[in-house]
Structure 1
């Protein structure tokens, strides 16, 4: 019997292993990038919810006072809370209350998310007294 000049080799070659490691690495990098984007979206959503809650706090103060002309001390206290993330505010937050007519006011909360110097977010709500 003549032996063939080649032998059949079973298993993976070094080149096949390197290609499979490369493909797995790209997949893992994609998963990590997706996780980073998800985290960023989650933080942005949390900031927006806090801004809505802060605006709601000021709207409640206006409705409880039954006038859009609330005292400057109440507005200043609220604006300080908006600007302080450690007490429930938003990052780089600025809160304003503008009286638009005898029975309406516009409440605005503006903030810049952490790590995004150019992205400015704004939440505005109007309060109209009956």
Structure 2
């Protein structure tokens, strides 16, 4: 009687193995999609941070050229407009705002922005001390 039970072929095992392998493959693919989404988000944040550094450098270069941290109001207004301008090929930041404060021969340049879908505001602060 035991030999009769053993000789019975197992049916459906290949189907279960295929379903388990599809489940494991699907979990792996979902993980890769999540990683790709995060990489795209971080790439956009790095691009915004780079753009903020370039805008701060533009203001600091003007200070070095004039050899003073105090700049004319027209230049400051134009620079702040450029920080906020998100038009094509304009180089601004989303919801961008730029400001600087002068203390003696030192200036602190602060640029803030908030990317669409971001929970918090991003901020870049640069300090320059002119000789």
State TM-score, norm by structure 2. Answer: 0.86
Bigger mean CA offset, 63-72 vs 30-39: 63-72
CA drift at 1:7: 4.2
1:33 aligns with 2:21: no
Structure 1 unaligned spans of 5+: none
For residue 91 of structure 2, what is the aligned residue in structure 1?
Answer: 88
1:98 aligns with 2:101: yes
Aligned residues: 125
Alpha carbon RMSD of aligned pairs, Å?
1.9
State TM-score, norm by structure 1. Answer: 0.86
SS for the counterpart of 1:85 is coil
CA drift at 1:95: 0.2
1:1-130 paired onto structure 2 within 5 Å: 5-7=7-9, 13-86=14-87, 87-101=90-104, 103-116=105-118, 118-130=119-131
In the alignment, the residues of structure 2 paired with residue 12 and residue 60 of structure 1 have an alpha-carbon distance, to the nearest angstrom, of 72
Deviation by residue 1:59-81 (Cα, 9 ceiling, x = unmatched): 01111112222111101111111
Runs of 4+ in structure 1 displaced over 2 angstroms?
3-9
In the alignment, the residues of structure 1 paired with residue 34 and residue 9 of structure 2 have an alpha-carbon distance, to the nearest angstrom, of 45
